[in-house]
Each structure stands twice: as C-alpha cells, then as structure tokens.
Amino acid sequence: MAADQTVHGIPPSLSASVTGSFAYLTVRDRMPTILTKVIDTIHRNKNKFFEEHGEEGISAEKQAISLLSKLRNELQTDKPILELMDGLPDTESWNQYLQRQQRQQGDQEPVSWFKSPWLYVECYMYRRLQEAIWLNPPINNFDFFNEGKTEGFFESQQAVMTLCTYLGDIQKSMQTLSENQLSEYFNKLLQVSLWGNKCDLSISAGQKNSQDSSPIDSLNSLQSFILVDDSNAVWLTLNSSRRLEGSGKTTADRVDIVLDNAGFELVTDLVLADFLVSSGLARQIHFHGKCFPWFVSDVTANDFQWTIRQTMAANHKWMCKSGFQWQSYLKEGVWCYHDHPFWTQPHEFCDMAADAPELYAALQGADLVLFKGDLNYRKLTGDRDWAHTVDFSTALRGFEPAPLCSLRTLKANVQVGLQPGQAEKLTSQDPSWMTNGKYGVIQFHSPKLPQ
C-alpha cells in the first residue's frame, strides 16, 4: 500500500517522507538534538557513575554513549529500523509491531526513519534510548531526562505557589459554594491543566520551558486560543454521574487522568484532581504515567512521588499543605498511580482493546478519562492526515472505553473537530498554528449509551 493512499476512508499516517513537513523537521532536527543532549547528559555524569560504581560505571557510560551515537547515525542517514535486543517484557511486542509496519509498507523497502509513520519512529527512538541504558548495568536505572524535569519544577515555583494558594482559598469556602460557582472553579482549573501542557520539553528539544506567570491571571487572555471548548460537556458528565448514584452517594465514582509532562504541568493536574475530590465531584482519581523516561519530560512513578515530596517540603504554607493532602490521598487509596507498558508503545489507542485488553477494561471503570497533551492526542486520532472538520468521534475509530476528554495544546499536524472555515482562517492569521503550542483544545467524546 502506498504511504499516501486513503484506505476505507481512513487517511494515511503522518510521516517524515514529505520534505519540509513538521514530521520531517522533527525527525531531521529535533530528534537528533534530543539524542545529542542525552549523550551529553550521560557524559557529564561520568564522575558520578565512577563514584558510585567505579570502573564498571565508566565502562557502562562509554558503552551507552556508543549505542546512542550509533542510533543517531541510523536516524540521520535513514537506515532501516532494527529489532530491539534487550529482552525487556515489552521487547517482543515492539518487534511484532515492526513486522506489522513492514507488512503494511510492503516488501519494496524496509521500514526506516523518514519513510515510516512519524508516531512510530518517534516512539521507537525513546524506546531505543531505554535499551541503550538498560543494556548497561550498573547505570541502567539512570533517568537522562531528570535534570530538565526537576529544573522545570523549580523554575515554576512562583506559579505553583499561586496555584496552591488559589486551591486553598476555594477549599476554605467549599461548603458554601453554589452549583454555578463550583462549575466556574472547575472550568478555571480545567483550563489551567490545559495550559500547563505548554511546558513540554520534547517540543523545545529540552530547552527551558517553565511557567513563570500566574496561571490564573492569564486565563482570560488565553480564552480565544481554545479552538474547541467542550468543558460544558465534561462538567455535565461529572454531574450526571453524581446524580445517577441516587440519594446514597453524591459523587462520580472515578476520574482517570492519563498524564503527560512532569514539572509545572503535573502540578496543574494534581491541583485539578484535588479539587475534584475535595469538591465531591469525584470519589477517586486514578493517574496513569510512564514506565520509563519518555518524550523528554513525561511523568514516571519516580517523578510523581518526587513532585509530591517537594511540594510537602516547600517553605510555603499552601504548597506544603497541598503536598501533605496529596500524600494522604495516596495513603488512603483516594488517589492511585499506575503505569502500563502500553503507554510507552507506538500503538494508536484504537488498538488498545485488542493489544492491551486489561488496560482498556481498567479505563472502562472510569466515569471520565482526561487525556493530557499532544502525544496522547496523536495516539487518540492515530496521528493521521484527517481533514480538520472530521468529527473527533470518527478519528477515535472506536476507541471509547468511557467518556473521554483531551486537554491538549497543539504541537503536531493533526487536529480534528473544527468548524468549517476555522482552520483556513487560522492558517491565514498564524501559519504555524498547529505546531507552535499557542492554541489548545478541550475536546470531549462520550460512548453512545445503549438504548
């Protein structure tokens, strides 16, 4: 099948085969830059590896750098994609996915960096980074993205304090809030969580990207940049879950948040989750993060716990109070954190029911699933060349474990669910609107209820 064919009304995957496209520039420029930074980070930690592990640490550092330099060369010269060799639990599934890509592409040429789906090769690069580290004990648990993530958190301290203070103020008056006030606060914190997604280190290839203005004060000026705003449908979903419980319970049972970036964005997600629980909009929050360092700044279990510990230790009344509250939610099981290998694989989410049925079943237990960020949006829509006016539900291709909402600032060439003429107008005003991170969506879909 030629890469540019549309089959059964489903458009082709975006790829770097179109010179000058955003996918092409990402594979040509951004991905090698990220690899170079990782090589540099490992090299700069050489003394630390020596102190902790002696000669063995130095030898592992050299080996890892050699594997990553080879990877960079393969990428830059459009070599074939290779099978993984590290024998981790997900290795076989990755290698099967490569065979699947090869079958789809036909036998004419091998699956390679510039000719294959961008979503696949970008995910594959991060998995190969993991392989290079994993194959080299004793440094095989080193998080080469950790410095950037912690820096992002500390540089956003002012915004974190403002946000925790704002949450504290809401909670002081929680008992007396009218339904309208509750809805207004919900919308504000949903938008804060949306714009928190601007702080993404993979889009800036690891350049500093912190939040230094007040996240609440900037909401009004950002309103016109929300291209699709389904926040009312999200609110109604939470509220109808509350009402369906009858007189016994007044809360939606569970909201799941599929996380994106660590640092400031994670704090916006934790604040939203705290509000949902303390306002009685949800009884339980399940967070989903990554099993290993991924897309530069994505949240791992380590980042999640570290962020809560840092918030608890802050020399600021409301930050510290929030941190202790979050820790107790985790202890009591009101909040829980999960990771699943599927989140660090290249599959579109419409494959989840077949390829990770246990994860799909877990998400079906939620009253609402919030998907944070750009990569999740690309996977929700298959990262395909959809017309901008195609319905979000069409692009999901049957992925509907529960009512779901994407909170995403645009950093890739895929966006569906727009009004006729909206994309054309944006293109004339701001040609890079799909990739510059200035625009956002709060986009909702709910499975049709059985009649």
335-354 pLDDT, tens digit each:
999 999 999 999 999 999 99
**Residue 344 CB contacts under 8 Å (≥ 6 apart), including other chains:** 90, 123, 126, 127, 290, 291, 292, 294
Alpha helix (H) residue ranges in 245-401 = 264-278, 301-312, 317-332, 352-355, 357-364, 374-380, 392-396
Residue 204 pLDDT > 60, yes or no? no
The DSSP annotation for 201-256 comes to TTTTTT------S-TTTTHHHHGGGEEEE-HHHHHHHHHHHHHHTTTS--SEEEEE
The pLDDT, as a whole number, for residue 326 is 99
Residue 210 pLDDT > 70, yes or no? no
Q: Tokens 């293109």 correspond to what residue?
A: 427
Cβ contact 129:83 at 8 Å: no
- Average pLDDT value for residue range 59-85: 98
Token duo for residue 216: 């609440």
Average confidence score pLDDT of the chain = 93
Cβ contact 440:197 at 8 Å: yes
Residue 51 pLDDT > 70, yes or no? yes
129: pLDDT confidence band, cut at 50, 70 and 90? very high
Going from the N-terminus, what domains does the chain have, and what CATH number goes with each?
22-135 (1.20.930.60), 145-445 (3.40.50.10880)
- Average pLDDT value for residue range 68-84: 98
404-409 sheet: strands from edge to edge = 226-229, 440-445, 404-409, 368-372, 252-258, 282-289, 335-339
The pLDDT, as a whole number, for residue 147 is 96
Q: How many residues does the chain have?
A: 451
4: pLDDT confidence band, cut at 50, 70 and 90? very low
**Residue 357: what residue type?**
P
98: pLDDT confidence band, cut at 50, 70 and 90? very high
Strands 404-409 and 252-258: unpaired
Counting residues of the chain whose pLDDT is more than 70, the rounded percentage is 92
Residue 1 pLDDT > 60, yes or no? no
> Cα dist. 381→207, 311, 350, 418 in Å?
27, 35, 8, 14
Closest to 342 measured CA to CA, from 326, 358, 327, 331: 358
Residue 448 pLDDT > 90, yes or no? no
Residue 323 pLDDT > 50, yes or no? yes
User: Could you give the CA distance from residue 206 to residue 222 in angstroms, rounded to a whole number?
Assistant: 24
**Residue 204: what residue type?**
S
- Average pLDDT value for residue range 323-335: 98
214: pLDDT confidence band, cut at 50, 70 and 90? confident
147-164 pLDDT, tens digit each:
999 999 999 999 999 999
229-279 pLDDT, tens digit each:
999 999 999 988 665 544 454 567 999 999 999 999 999 999 999 999 999
The pLDDT, as a whole number, for residue 250 is 53
9: pLDDT confidence band, cut at 50, 70 and 90? confident
- Average pLDDT value for residue range 417-436: 98
108: pLDDT confidence band, cut at 50, 70 and 90? confident
Residue 418 pLDDT > 50, yes or no? yes
Residue 202 pLDDT > 80, yes or no? no
Report the C-alpha dihedral over residues 417, 418, 420, 424, rounded to 10 degrees. Answer: -140
The pLDDT, as a whole number, for residue 247 is 44
Closest to 413 measured CA to CA, from 56, 117, 22: 22
Strands 335-339 and 404-409: unpaired
Closest to 147 measured CA to CA, from 355, 296, 11: 296
Closest to 440 measured CA to CA, from 279, 273, 222: 222
Cβ contact 144:133 at 8 Å: yes
Token duo for residue 108: 């004419």
